[in-house]
Amino acid sequence: MVKLLKTLNSLLNGIIVLVLVSMVSLVFLNVVLRYAFSSGITWSEELARYLFVWIVFLGAIVASKEKGHLGVDLVISKVPKRFQKILYLLANSLTVFVLILFLDGLFKMMELNKLVTGPATGIPEAVFYLAGVVASILMIIITAIQTIRFTFFNQDAPEWAKTEGKGGRTE
């Protein structure tokens, strides 16, 4: 299982690098063509926009996996460990709920824009929303796994979680 997770993590990071290199290359090439030859690639700006949306959502997945999203732990770090787990479960349940609402909105937007395509590339606009769908589903899975591991098995604890012997803090 650990090997599978490491492989998936490497795959995700590789995709992010590939998308970023593609986006930067397209924009750079288009800038050079415009300034040096007074022409450009008509579809490169639109494709770069698609790639940017994907890289933002893929980055959100990585941040979720690494617990890198912003959070305020001022209150939760001061309460006993049992209440920390309850608050963590509550907060992550709310996060999953919001991600489900986001997913529902994405499906509605995909339905509304199913016939709209990019003017230069012809790529369906639904590709924008598909990035959000992929990110939402993966973040729901990641959040659920992290919540279950900490709340029920006391594994994969957040940085603010109280542990015995950690800086004099105890349950």
Task: Tell which wins on pLDDT, 171 or 99.
Answer: 99
Please give the average per-residue pLDDT across 29-58, as a whole number.
92
Which pLDDT score is estimated for 110? 95
- Cα 93 from Cα 87, distance rounded (Å): 10
Other C-beta atoms lying within 10 Å of the C-beta of residue 122: 9
- Residue 162 domain flag: no
pTM of the predicted structure, to 2 decimals:
0.86
Task: Tell which wins on pLDDT, 168 or 50.
Answer: 50
- Residue 63 domain flag: yes
Q: What residues does 124 pair with on adjacent strands?
A: 117
Smallest Cα–Cα separation from 169: which of 80, 94, 53, 107?
80
- Residue 21 domain flag: yes
- Cα 91 from Cα 81, distance rounded (Å): 15
With a cut of 50, say whether residue 62 has pLDDT above it.
Answer: yes
- Cα 3 from Cα 7, distance rounded (Å): 6
| pLDDT over 70 percentage in the chain | 94
Give the type of residue at 106.
L
With a cut of 80, say whether residue 51 has pLDDT above it.
Answer: yes
**Span 103-119, pLDDT tens digits:** 999 999 999 999 999 99
Which pLDDT score is estimated for 102? 97
Task: Tell which wins on pLDDT, 164 or 81.
Answer: 81
Give the total number of structural domains in the chain. Answer: 1
- Residue 167 domain flag: no
Q: Domain range spanning residue 53?
A: 2-153
- Residue 138 domain flag: yes
DSSP 159: T
- Cα 163 from Cα 157, distance rounded (Å): 9
- Residue 147 domain flag: yes
Which pLDDT score is estimated for 56? 95
- Residue 49 domain flag: yes
Task: Tell which wins on pLDDT, 158 or 134.
Answer: 134
- Residue 158 domain flag: no
Is 149 in contact with 140 (CB distance < 8 Å)?
no
